[in-house]
Structure 1
Amino acid sequence: MFAALIVLLAACGGPAKKSNSERNLAADISLKLENIAEGLHSPVAATFSPEGLMLVCEQTGQIRVLENNKLIDKPFLNLESKLVKISGAYDERGLLGIALHPDYAINKKFYVYYSAPSTEKGFDHQSVIAEYKVSTDPMLADAASERILLTIQQPESNHNGGDLKFGPDGYLYIGVGDGGGAGDRHGEKGNGQNLNTLLGKILRIDVNTDQSYGIPNDNPFVGKGAKPEIWAYGLRNPWRFSFDKNSRQLFVADVGQNKFEEVNIIEKGGNYGWKIMEASHCFDPEENCKTEGLILPIAEYEHEEGISITGGFVYRGKELTRLTDKYIFADWTGPVFYLEKKGESWIRGTVSLAAKPSGDLKILSFVQDNNAELYVLTNQEVGPKDIKGAVYKLINP
C-alpha cells in the first residue's frame, strides 16, 4: 500500500481549521523483524536501563529483564498481587507503563503505572502511579520501596492510557484515558473536556519533591480552577506517546471510537477535541460541532485500515537510514506506518515487515534503546490470556 488519507495539522487557537483531505504518495519502506525474545505474557511497555538492560512490562504484573537479548527467568519486579483481577481477552487493565528517572544511574528510581482494586465505591478500579528503587542488584528491584505518587479512580475497565515518559524538561508525563465506556459517557460533557478530572488527559508532574509529587509552576491550568496536573486534554485513550529527541515535540497516538485513529503533536494547554470530535470529524454532535480552539490531529486513518492505534517514535537511530526524521507507529492489528513532514503537511507511508511470524501479530508498543534503535512488543493473542508475547527489533531486510 503506497497511499493514505492525510489530515493536515490545524492551527492552535481560534476556529479549528479542517483542511481538505488529500491523497499523498509516500514510498513503501521494507524492513525486517529480528526475533529478540519470546515467551512473554502480553508485553505492553518497556524501557532500557543505562546498562543496556531491557525492562519489559507484562500486562499481568511482572517486569522481566532482557540482558544481551536473553530473557532472564527471575523477574525484575512482580506486581501481580497489587493488580485488580484481570479477565483475559480484551482486558485493558494491568501493568501498563514504566519510566526510569532521568538520574536513574545515580538514584536508581523508576516509575510504574498499574491497575489496582479501587479504594472508593462505584469505580471499576484505580490507576496507580508509583515509584520504586532498584536493589543493590541491578537485575532486581526493591519490592518494599514502593512510594505511591498518584491514584486515579477509573469508572470502567477500559481506556486507561498508561504510558509514562520523562520529558526533556525532567518532568514526568502521564497518559490517562477518558475512563472508558463508549462515547465518553461519564458526565454531561464527558471526561475528556472536563478540566476538573484527570481522565482523558496528558498530565505533567514533578517527582523530585518531598511530597507525593509537585506541580510545575508553568503547567497551563495552575490557579485556574482546574486540575493543575493537566498539560493537555480532550483525549480518548492515548496509547503510547514519545518525545522526539531532536525537536522535543511530544507525539501522542489517540485511539478512536467508531471510525478514526489519530496522531497528535501535543502543545501546552491544548484541547484535542474528544468527545466533540473523533480525529478531525464531528462526533458529539455528529454535525456542526463547535470546533473553536480545538487542535486537530496531524494525521488520521479510517477503520478500514485498522481499529486501534499504537504510538511509536520519530526515528533518530543510525541503522535504518530510510526511517530518519520519520514518525513510526502502527495499528494493534498489525500494519506499521510512518509519517513524514513535507512542508506544512504530513504524508503517511507503509512499512512492510519481513520475517513476521505466522498467525496474527498484535502490535502492543514500540521501544527505543539507548542508541535510538527501535523494538516492537507484540502478542499473538487479543489479551493477556496466554504466553504468546514477543520482542522484535526493526532491522534492515
Structure 2
Amino acid sequence: MGTPIVNIVLSHSTQTPLARRFLAAVLITALGATGASAEDKAPVDTTPLAIEAVAAFPDLQWSGWQPDRDGVPQSLRPVLLTHAGDGSGRLFVAEQQGIVHAFRHGDAETKVFLDLREKVHYRDSESESGFLGLAFHPRFGENGELFVHYTTTEAPQTMVLSRIRVSKDNPDRADSESEEEILRVEHPYWNHKGGTICFGPDGMLYISQGDGGKGNDPHGNSQNLQTLLGKILRIDVDHRDDTKAYTIPADNPLVELMAANDSKPPRPPVRQEIWAYGLRNVWQMSFDRRTGQLWIADVGQDLWEEINLGKKGGNYGWNLREGDQPYSPTNTSTAPGFIDPLWQYSHDIGKSITGGCVYRGQQLPELDGHYLYADYVSGRLWGLKYDDSRRQVVANRPIPHEAEGLPVMAFGEDEAGEVYFTILTPTGKGIYSFRRQAGQASR
C-alpha cells in the first residue's frame, strides 16, 4: 500500500456572516493502492459474538461516593478509565464531577488519586461538561506527569488542558497544587465539548474539541480553520516556546501547508495545532496499541453516528455532511475530499455513539482486532472488525451484557490490553469487562 499524500486547499468564503471563514478540503491519495470494488466486498457479519460483558468489580467501593445523599439519588458517572503505563497494575477511573479514583485488582475500595472538584464545572443540567480527559505521559514512570482536560468553574463554557505531577511523597496521589495550564479553549455553549486526550505512538498529545455546541454548528466552527472547535489537535507537551507551554509539531498538516505557501501572500491566519477537522463531538478516540491507528467516534446530529479512522489533515465533513450524506438538502458545497465514515449507524439503532478501543488483550483471542464500542442512549454494544487489506468492515457483531439499556459512558484498557467499559449507574457497579460465554471453547 502506498504512502498517503495529503493536500489541503484553502478557499475563502464571504457568502455568510462569518466573513473571515476559511473552508478547507482535503484530498487524500494513496499511491499504488486500490480499494475493494463493490463486487469484491463480502457481506458484513452481524451474528452475535460468543462474548458477554459482566461487572468486573461488583463489590468495589468508591471512595467518597454515596448512592443517596440527603434523600437525593446520586448516580456514579465514571467518564473514563485508563492506566498509567508504569507497571503498577493500577486502574484509574475519573468521575465527571472531577475525582480520579485509583485501585488495583483485589482492592476493596478505591483511593482518591486526584480531586479537582473545586475547579471543575459540572451540573446535571449541563451533562456534557465536567472532567472529560485524562492521559498519563508515556514516561510517567520517570517524570510523574499526567494531563487533564475539563470545563473550568472560572469560565463554565471553557475547556482547560493542564499538566499535573504526582506527589513527591505519595505515588498514589497527584499533587493538585502542581497544576500548570497548557491550553484554554472557549466554547459558546454548554454542550459538544469533546474532551478526549491521548498520547499517540509518536509521543504527541492528541486533543478532541467539540464544535462548541447548541445544534447544527451555528457558527460554522468545524470547517473554520481559524478556531480549534470541531477539531482534533496535536501538540508537543515536552517542549515550550516563549508564548505557550507547548510547541506545535513541525509535521502538523497546517504547519506544512503554511510553509509550502509562505511565498504566496496573503498567509491565512489558521490554527496550526489542528491535525484533523470537520468533526461534531468526538466521544471518544483511541489508538490501536498494535498498529498505531487512531479510531474516532463522532456523535451525530439527527440521523447518523460515525466511526472514523484518523488521518492527518482529514476533513470529516461536519457541518456540511452528517455521516456520508449532505447535512442539508440546500447544501451546495462542492468541496472535495471529505473522508467517509468507516462505519455509521442510524438513529433507529442508537442516538449517541460511545467510542471504544481495539482489543489487543490475551484473554480473548477471538476478539483480537475488534473495535469495541457502544451507544450511550440504547446501551447496546458491538465488536467491529475492519480488514485493512480490503479496506472494508467485515463484521459488526453485537455483544450481550447484563447492564444493557444503561448508558455506556466510556471504554478503556489496562496495561495488558484488556478492555473495560463504564456505565452511568445508581448502584456503584460501574465497570464491566468481557468474558467468553459459558460453554464456549477458547479459540
TM-score, normalising length: structure 1 = 0.87
Work out whether residues 278 and 317 of structure 2, in 8 Å CA contact, stay in contact via their aligned partners in 1: yes
Secondary structure of 2:141's counterpart equals helix
Measure the CA separation in 1 of the matches of 2:413 and 2:163: 21
Contact 2:47–2:398 at 8 Å: present in 1 too? no
Q: 1:47-82 CA distances to partner (integer Å, 9 max, x unpaired)?
A: 112211111110011011122253645411111100
User: Contact 2:297–2:355 at 8 Å: present in 1 too?
Assistant: yes
Give the deviation of 1:110 after TM superposition: 0.2
1:48 aligns with 2:48: no
Partner of 1:99 in structure 2? 135
Q: Identity rate of aligned residues, in percent?
A: 37
Whole-Å Cα distance in 2 between the matches of residues 298 and 262 of structure 1? 8
Alignment match of 2:422 (pick from 372, 377, 383): 377
Aligned residue in 2 for 1:127: 159
Q: Which amino acid aligns with 2:229?
A: L
Q: Output the amino acid matched with 2:48.
A: D
Q: CA contact under 8 A between 1:276 and 1:285: conserved in structure 2?
A: no
Q: Does 1:63 align with 2:93?
A: no
**Which residue is 1:180 aligned to?**
213
Q: Name the stretch that deviates more: 321-330 or 171-180.
A: 321-330
Contact in 2 for aligned 1:30/1:351 (Cα 8 Å)? no
2:276 corresponds in structure 1 to 232
CA distance, structure 2, for counterparts of residue 250 and residue 177 of structure 1 = 17
Give 2:119's aligned amino acid: K
Which residue of the other structure, out of 274, 282, 287, is the alignment partner of 2:326? Answer: 282
Give the counterpart of 2:434 among 380, 387, 394. Answer: 394
Summarize the Cα distance change of 1:286–1:378 in structure 2 as closer, same or farther, 3 Å threshold.
farther
Q: In structure 2, what is the equivalent of residue 7 of structure 1?
A: none
Aligned-partner Cα distance in 1 for 2:136–2:183:
17
Greater mean deviation of Cα atoms: 65-74 or 331-340: 65-74
Secondary structure of the structure 2 residue equivalent to 1:29:
coil
Which amino acid letter does the alignment assign opposite residue 114 of structure 2? Answer: L
Q: 1:167 to 1:324 in 2, by over 3 A?
A: same
Q: Deviations over 1:239-294 (max 9, x none)?
A: 01111122211110000000100011111111000000001010034565435121
Amino acid at match of 2:45: L
For the residue of structure 2 that corresponds to 1:76, the secondary structure is: strand
Question: Structure 1 residue 114 and structure 2 residue 147: aligned?
Answer: no
1:27 to 28, 43, 47: 47
Q: Counterpart in 1 of 2:399?
A: 352
What CA distance in whole angstroms lies between the structure 1 residues aligned with 2:249 and 2:106?
Answer: 38
- Name the stretch that deviates more: 130-139 or 295-304: 130-139
CA contact (8 A) 1:64 1:72 kept: no
CA contact (8 A) 2:146 2:163 kept: yes
**Post-superposition shift, 1:226?**
0.9
Matching of residues 327-346 of structure 1 within 5 Å: 327-332=371-376, 333-342=378-387, 343-346=390-393
> In the aligned structure 2, how far is the partner of 1:23 from the partner of 1:261?
21
Residue pair 1:379, 1:389 contacting (<8 A) in 2 also: no
**How far apart are the structure 2 equivalents of 1:289 and 1:140?**
51
* Per-residue deviation, residues 117-172 of structure 1 (Å, max 9, x unmatched): 355xxxx5100000101113121111110000001001110000010100000000
Matched to 2:310, the amino acid is: I
Residue 388 of structure 1, CA deviation: 4.7
Contact 1:42 1:389 in 2 (8 A): no
Q: In 1, are the aligned partners of 2:372 and 2:384 still within 8 Å (CA)?
A: yes
- Distance (Å, rounded) in 2 between the aligned partners of 1:286 and 1:265: 28
Using CA pairs below 8 Å that are at least 6 residues apart, which structure has the higher relative contact order? 1
The alignment's C-alpha RMSD in Å is 2.4
1:87 corresponds to? 123
Worse overlay, 148-157 or 240-249: 240-249
- Residue 223 of structure 2 corresponds to which residue in structure 1? 193
* 1:310 to 2:354 alignment: yes
Q: How far apart, CA to CA, are the structure 2 residues paired with 1:371 and 1:43?
A: 21
Q: Distance in 2 between the 1:375 and 1:25 partners?
A: 23
Whole-Å separation in 1 of the counterparts to 2:399 and 2:372 = 12
Q: SS of the residue aligned with 2:399?
A: strand
* Equivalent pair of 2:308/2:342 in contact (CA under 8 Å): yes
2-side partners of 1:347 and 1:89: how far apart?
40
Query: Is the contact made by 1:376 and 1:394 (CA closer than 8 Å) also made in structure 2?
Result: no
Structure number, greater radius of gyration: 2
1:15-34 C-alpha deviation (Å, 9 max, x unpaired)? 9x9x9899633332032323
SS at match of 1:183: coil
Q: SS in structure 1 opposite 2:27?
A: coil
Amino acid in structure 2 at the alignment position of 1:282: P
- 1:369-391 per-residue CA deviation (whole Å, 9 max, x = no partner) reads 111110011113xxxxx675601
Amino acid at match of 2:141: A
**CA pair 349-247 structure 1, distance change in 2 beyond 3 A:** same
Quick check: 102-111 or 340-349, which moved more?
A: 340-349
1:208 paired to 2:255: no
Paired AA for residue 250 in structure 1: L
Q: Using the alignment, how far apart are the partners of 1:73 and 1:372 within structure 2?
A: 21
Partners of 1:74 and 1:325 in 2: CA distance: 33
Q: Does 1:362 align with 2:407?
A: yes
Q: Does 1:319 align with 2:377?
A: no
Any residues of structure 2 matched to 1:11-26 within 5 Å, and which? 13=27, 24-26=44-46
Report the Cα distance in structure 1 between the residues aligned to 2:413 and 2:111, rounded to whole angstroms: 23
